[in-house]
């Protein structure tokens, strides 16, 4: 019986690596699949992992209909047993519903990979719909770490190195100034523990404070995980 599975986690927890590994495993067993991605860091029509693996994928656009994507391939004689859906947080709720229908009515396994919440700690609409509809939600066990060594559960956005909590939900490139948004700059992302997210202390900010001979606004050592800096945990 086919399944809709949502593999979730923060950035840097190895989702794309797992997506590529799963594709490989199913292909090696003679199954046919289609890889999809959306706004991958390496560019359109690509799934890339931080470990350096990269392969081609079908780019998911606003008008993409997953039901049609499967029907078109099967009609032309291609085998479609499963879909790999990377960066699924960027899919629309409607597209997630199409994925569920593909599972139920065409017996196609759907393995979706995505981060759950945005830089404001709010669920992405696509991830929310996946959590609502998936047969299984699997939280990835490779944990991203905050600079302090704790488990990172939040995705922070930085603009020119400064953490921001307002802006468009989806922003994958650097921004140019417009009349509506006068702030231009280099957009970055960093995983933080909830404590440092709430205090808005990124690695850059922590370094600045550690290098300053001024009293800190809070006791930074008290925030440290035992053994922080060794980058491993019990
Ligand atoms: Zn932290």
178-189 per-position pLDDT tens digit: 665 556 678 888
Rg (the chain; Cα; Å): 20
Please give the distance, rounded to the nearest whole angstrom, from the Cα atom of residue 196 to the centre of ligand 1: 5
Q: List all residues 6 or more positions away from 151 whose beta carbon is below 8 Å from its beta carbon.
A: 143, 144, 145, 193, 233
Give the catalytic positions in this structure. 87
Please give the distance, rounded to the nearest whole angstrom, from the Cα atom of residue 183 to the centre of ligand 1: 27
With a cut of 80, say whether residue 224 has pLDDT above it.
Answer: no
Please give the distance, rounded to the nearest whole angstrom, from the Cα atom of residue 11 to the centre of ligand 1: 15
Residues of each domain in the chain carrying CATH 3.40.50.300 = 4-139
159-171 per-position pLDDT tens digit: 888 899 888 888 7
Pairing status of strand 46-48 against strand 54-56: antiparallel
**CATH number among 3.90.1150.10, 3.40.50.300, 3.40.50.720, 3.90.1300.10, domain 4-139:** 3.40.50.300
Q: Of the ranges 12-26, 71-85, 131-145, 204-218, which one carries the lowest mean pLDDT score?
A: 204-218
Please give the distance, rounded to the nearest whole angstrom, from the Cα atom of residue 210 to the centre of ligand 1: 14
**Cβ atoms within 10 Å of 177's Cβ, excluding its own:** 10
List 35's β-bridge partners, or say none.
Answer: 84
Section 208-215 average pLDDT: 60
Q: Dihedral of CA 56/113/171/132: which sign?
A: positive
* Nearest partner of 200 among 161, 144, 145, 232, judged by Cα: 161
Percent of the chain with pLDDT over 90: 52
Q: Are 191 and 166 in contact (CB under 8 A)?
A: no
With a cut of 60, say whether residue 232 has pLDDT above it.
Answer: no
Give pTM, 2 decimals: 0.77
pLDDT of amino acid 206: 82
- Retrieve residue 144's tokens: 């991203």
34-45 per-position pLDDT tens digit: 999 998 877 788
Please give the distance, rounded to the nearest whole angstrom, from the Cα atom of residue 234 to the centre of ligand 1: 17
């Amino acid at each position: 019986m086919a399944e809709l599975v949502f593999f979730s986690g923060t950035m840097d927890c190895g989702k794309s690596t797992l997506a590529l590994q799963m594709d490989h495993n199913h292909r090696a067993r003679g199954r046919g699949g289609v890889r999809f991605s959306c706004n991958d860091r390496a560019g359109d029509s690509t799934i890339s992992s931080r470990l350096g693996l990269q392969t081609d994928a079908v780019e998911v656009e606003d008008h993409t209909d997953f039901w049609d994507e499967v029907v078109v391939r099967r009609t032309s004689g291609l085998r479609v047993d499963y879909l790999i859906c990377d960066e699924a947080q960027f899919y629309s709720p409607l597209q997630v519903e199409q994925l569920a229908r593909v599972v139920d009515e065409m017996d196609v396994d759907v393995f979706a990979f995505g981060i759950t919440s945005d830089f404001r700690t709010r669920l992405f609409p696509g991830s929310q719909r996946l959590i609502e509809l998936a047969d299984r939600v699997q939280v990835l066990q490779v944990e991203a770490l905050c600079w302090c060594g704790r488990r990172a559960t939040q995705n922070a956005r930085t603009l020119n190195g400064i953490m921001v909590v307002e802006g468009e939900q989806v922003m994958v490139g650097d921004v140019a100034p417009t009349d509506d948004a006068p702030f231009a700059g280099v957009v970055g992302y960093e995983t933080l523990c909830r404590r440092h997210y709430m205090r808005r202390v990124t690695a850059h900010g922590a370094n600045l404070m550690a290098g300053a001979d001024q009293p800190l606004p809070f006791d930074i050592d008290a925030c440290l995980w035992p053994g922080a800096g060794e980058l491993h945990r019990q």
